[in-house]
């Protein structure tokens, strides 16, 4: 399964980066192939200073070796080796009318002393972080997520949309990072779903990503905006940074397993602002966004 899924994310990385270069029309992805001293490596692709994307990355990795002490404690084991692979992407657009997007699809195996698999699971999801809220865009993104879920289980969308709203919650701000999407983790074999079933589901979601995001980008990338709206985008990016550095399990896992720090922190935007007790004007579009972030909606 690990070879099968790693081959899938290699191909998906090629598909996504090719399409995003076409959408941007100016910048191209720069590739950086790296190795992890303890085992494994990855292929980082970053786009910067484009016509559409100010900064973005579409990265894959496959790492393995002994579980670090922090991960032994997390999993409640004394010894063990692991393998983890996945594709992770974040795109920060120039235009504040275009939302930031994040997605990740991953597979994990843990082994005993004899090399036998003692646990394995899939995880991932995709979520949207707008700076200005267009209801039709939110509905389109969530409808795409639901369509992918419904092909496998008509209960998945409700479950994983709720998990997304719960996971991407900035508890110290009491607000969501964005308007959600899907989040699923520790998807392992059950009576109803074997690992091939989970593979089919996760790849279905991965294959739906471009369909969910690109039409939104195409619709909004040429809209005019003011310096004040750009400032608001940068203030909201600050909340994005706060979540990634304080709460995100993927960031923490990468750091604790001696992951490649440049690839891990690729998700951080280049221009960010923090202001003391920043509050938008009442009745403004900025205030409307905040209201939704404090009270997640059912978009479809």
Catalytic center residues: 102
Q: Residues in the chain, how many?
A: 300
The candidate with the shortest Cα–Cα distance to 164, out of 245, 120, 101, 211, is 101
Three-state SS for 247-300 is: CCHHHHHHHHCCCCHHHHHHHCCCCCCCCCCCCCCCCCHHHHHHHHHHCCCCCC
Q: How is residue 211 written in tokens?
A: 């369909």
Residue located via tokens 């089919």: 200
Q: How is residue 142 written in tokens?
A: 């969530």
Q: How is residue 190 written in tokens?
A: 């059950």
In this structure, what are the phi and psi dihedrals at residue 225, rounded to the nearest 5 degrees? -150, 160
Element (H, E) at 159: helix 156-167
Q: Please name the residues in contact with 136: beta carbons below 8 A apart, sequence gap of 6 or more.
A: none
Is there a contact between 107 and 1 (Cβ–Cβ < 8 Å)?
yes
Is there a contact between 163 and 152 (Cβ–Cβ < 8 Å)?
no
Measured distance CA(173)–CA(242) in Å, rounded: 10
Is there a contact between 242 and 172 (Cβ–Cβ < 8 Å)?
yes
Measured distance CA(52)–CA(140) in Å, rounded: 20
């Amino acid at each position: 399964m690990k070879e099968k899924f790693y081959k899938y994310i290699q191909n998906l990385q090629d598909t996504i980066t090719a399409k995003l270069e076409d959408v941007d029309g100016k910048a191209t992805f720069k590739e950086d192939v790296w190795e992890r001293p303890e085992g494994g490596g990855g292929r980082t692709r970053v786009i910067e200073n484009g016509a559409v994307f100010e900064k973005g990355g579409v990265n894959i990795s496959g790492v393995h070796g002994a579980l670090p002490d922090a991960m032994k404690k997390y999993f409640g084991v004394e010894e063990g080796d692991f393998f983890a692979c996945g594709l992770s992407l974040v795109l920060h657009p120039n235009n504040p009318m275009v939302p930031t997007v994040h997605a990740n699809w991953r597979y994990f195996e843990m082994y005993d002393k004899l090399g036998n698999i003692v646990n394995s699971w899939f995880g991932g999801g995709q979520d949207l972080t707008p700076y200005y809220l267009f209801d039709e865009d939110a509905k389109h993104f969530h409808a795409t997520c639901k369509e992918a879920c419904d092909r496998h289980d008509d209960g998945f969308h409700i479950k994983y949309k709720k998990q997304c709203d719960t996971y991407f919650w900035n508890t110290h701000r009491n607000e969501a990072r964005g308007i959600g999407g899907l989040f699923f983790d520790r998807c392992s074999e059950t009576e109803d779903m074997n690992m091939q079933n989970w593979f089919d589901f996760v790849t279905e979601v991965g294959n739906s990503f471009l369909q969910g995001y690109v039409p939104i980008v195409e619709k909004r990338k040429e809209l005019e905006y003011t310096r004040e709206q750009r400032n608001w985008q940068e203030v909201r990016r600050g909340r994005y940074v706060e979540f990634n550095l304080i709460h995100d399990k993927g960031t923490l896992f990468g750091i604790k397993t001696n992951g490649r720090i440049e690839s891990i922190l690729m998700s951080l935007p280049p221009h960010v602002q923090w202001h003391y007790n920043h509050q938008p004007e009442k009745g403004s579009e900025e205030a409307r966004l905040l209201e939704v972030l404090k009270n997640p909606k059912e978009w479809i």
